[in-house]
Amino acid sequence: MPLRLYNTMSSQVEDFHPLHANEVRMYACGPTVYDYGHIGNFRTFVAVDLLQRFLRQSGYKVRYVMNITDVDDKIIRNAAQAGVSVQQYTAKYVQAFLEDSALISIEPPHFVRATEHIPQMADFVARLVEKKIAYRADDGSYYFRISEFPGYGKLSKKDFSGILDGARVDVDEYDKDSARDFALWKAPKPGEASWQTPIGSGRPGWHLECSVMSMEELGESFDLHAGGEDLIFPHHENEIAQSESLTGKTFARFWFHARFLLVEGEKMSKSLGNYYTLRDLVLKGYKPSSIRYLLTSVPYRKQLNFTFDGLKQAAVSVERLRNFRQRLRSGGFPGGSNPELQALAAETLSRMQAALDDDLNTAQAQAAIFDMVRKVNSALDAHAVNTGDTAPLLAALDRFDEVFAVINDDDSAKMKTISQWALSDGREKEISAELRDQIQADQISNAAIESKIAEMEAARKARNFAVSDALRAELVGAGVIIENTKDGVRWRRK
């Protein structure tokens, strides 16, 4: 079964085959760097990351490009207000975006920046003008004449035929031939940042950036273009119009859009007070792995209701997977192998693959791994697991984590980084007790833990439970979780 993906262009789930045999070329619209990214932004970026990981797991080489929009109206305005250059203003947020992406285990795509492709953008406009598809307005701005692109509206399923015929409202105000024509290039207003180019001075329009950079990196036709659902119109519609009217070729073959999330049942907005950045959540003490798990647990085309309760549930689910892996790794199993478990591992792999092949049904992939976890835990309790079984079972777990990326525990190190950032950024008041508690587990060394446990075990052997309980309480207080099993003590950091 090949991968099947929903394509916004056809409004259908289609078989996905890349243009080039084993290579997928994909592009995602990245952040506009004027602020810290919020969890809604990251739902989209995590969804695309998951797609990219699954494509690679399926054997494709992936060329994944993401733009960083480091010039736009808001950036220019904010930079001017702050009295710094556009570059100075955006540097902080570019860095924050890279850190946040790493925080939530997004594998870095190849990043391209708008401000590093200005000459190519000007050239793109010049070629559109040559073809009479774009025109220069009196103020030096350039617009795209949508009446020149018959397919306009094909992605967003909008019909512009009525509007194109003589609807000239607002034309004077915008200096455009038609109200629907969109800006390719904006002439500078006094005091605004601008670039000198052969088509005049000014700055690129947002839509232009993505067309130019994606085609430069991936070719005139490439496999997949991704973004949040809000970008369907006008952003992606305009990209298609510009690109296809210039090249005469299909721009992107698949259009992948992630649905918006809700926060506590409502649209996230600053005015509702339910607007959260990744850093806000970590400061409250939530683990990055919990956030990633929650974001991936609902398939990308469904509305996801992001709640604190859900975040807590996600943390428990991740913990269960981590405990399971530790249990399998702890060894001490009898030789040989159990055919049922061998079959279970194989079945789990194929169930996960089938689920993700089906338009990235992450919920079903998770169900498959949890079925395996429960059955194997049962077998472990019954001493029915043999040495030869652990490798295939652990391989299935690894396969899951190649895509979901939540089992490997680097939470406390990441949380420590956020806590240090808060200190250096004057936000130490926002560091919650929960966060302090979480990062405390990193304070004590492995050797110290092992020695305490040895003491504890000696006391337990002597049936001196008062002493052993006190030692355990001490370790728990230091953020170390202790489990006494028949086969000895297992421990891990909180």
481 binds RNA (CB under 7 A): yes
- Give the list of residues 6+ apart from residue 425 with CB closer than 8 angstroms, or none: none
Q: Which of 22, 81, 424, 485 binds RNA (CB under 7 A)?
A: 485
Pairwise CA distance, residues 367 & 385, whole Å: 22
Determine the Cα angle at 288 with ends 282 and 293, to 5°.
Answer: 135
Residue 320 interacts with RNA (CB under 7 A): yes or no: yes
Residues 58-97 that bind RNA (CB under 7 A): 74
Nearest to 287 by CA among 262, 308, 269, 266: 308
Residues 157-176 that bind RNA (CB under 7 A): 157-159
Contact at 8 Å (CB) between 45 and 239?
A: no
The least CB distance from residue 188 to RNA, in Å, is 18
What is the rounded distance in angstroms from the CA atom of residue 316 to the CA atom of residue 290? 8
| Dihedral in degrees, nearest 10, Cα atoms 239, 241, 244, 246 | -100
Total number of residues shown for the chain: 494
- What are the two backbone dihedrals, phi and then psi, of residue 211, each rounded to the nearest 5 degrees? -60, -50
Identify the residue among 111, 135, 195, 370 touching RNA (CB under 7 A). Answer: 370
**Which phi and psi angles does 485 have, rounded to 5°?**
-115, 170
Using CB under 7 A, pick the residue from 111, 195, 233, 421 that binds RNA: 233
State the nearest-atom distance from the C-beta of 158 to RNA, in Å: 7
Q: How far is the CB of 423 from RNA (least distance, A)?
A: 27
Contact call for residue 434 and RNA (CB under 7 A): no
The answer to the question of residue 147 lying near RNA (CB under 7 A) is no
User: In the set 31, 204, 285, 479, which binds RNA (CB under 7 A)?
Assistant: 31
Cβ proximity to RNA: between 431 and 480 the closer is 480
Does 40 bind RNA (CB under 7 A)? Our answer is yes
Q: Which two tokens stand for residue 249?
A: 């070729």
**Interface mask toward RNA for 373-412; x: CB under 7 A:** xx--xx-xx-------------------------------
- Comparison of 38 and 253: residue with beta carbon closer to RNA: 38
Among the listed ranges 106-114, 129-137, 153-161, 433-441, the one in contact with RNA (CB under 7 A) is 153-161
Q: How far apart are CA 366 and CA 340, in angstroms?
A: 21
CB closer to RNA out of 138 and 159: 159
Positions in 461-480 near RNA (CB under 7 A): 465, 468-469, 472
Secondary structure class of 40 (helix, strand, coil): helix
Which residue from 323, 417, 432, 440 is in contact with RNA, where contact means CB under 7 A?
323
Q: Which stretch binds RNA (CB under 7 A): 78-86, 282-290, 311-319, 439-447?
A: 311-319
Give the long-range contacts of residues 367-374, CB within 8 A, separation 24 or more. 369/321, 369/396, 369/397, 369/400, 370/317, 370/320, 372/344, 372/345, 372/348, 372/396, 372/397, 373/320, 373/321, 373/324
Quote helix, strand, coil % in the chain, to nearest 5: 50, 15, 30
In the bound state with RNA, the residue whose beta carbon lies nearer, of 101 and 361, is 361
Stretch that binds RNA, among 56-64, 113-121, 310-318, 414-422 (CB under 7 A): 310-318
Could you say whether residue 153 binds RNA (CB under 7 A)?
A: no
CB 72 within 8 A of CB 32: yes
Identify which range of 75-83, 226-234, 398-406, 427-435 contacts RNA by CB under 7 A: 226-234
CB of 226 to RNA, least distance (A): 8
Measured from the CB atom, the residue of 43 and 186 that comes closer to RNA is: 43
In the set 208, 298, 328, 352, which binds RNA (CB under 7 A)?
A: 298
Alpha-carbon distance of 334 to 390, in angstroms, equals 11
In the list 57, 250, 364, 386, the residue contacting RNA (rule: CB under 7 A) is 364
Residue 483 touching RNA (CB under 7 A): yes
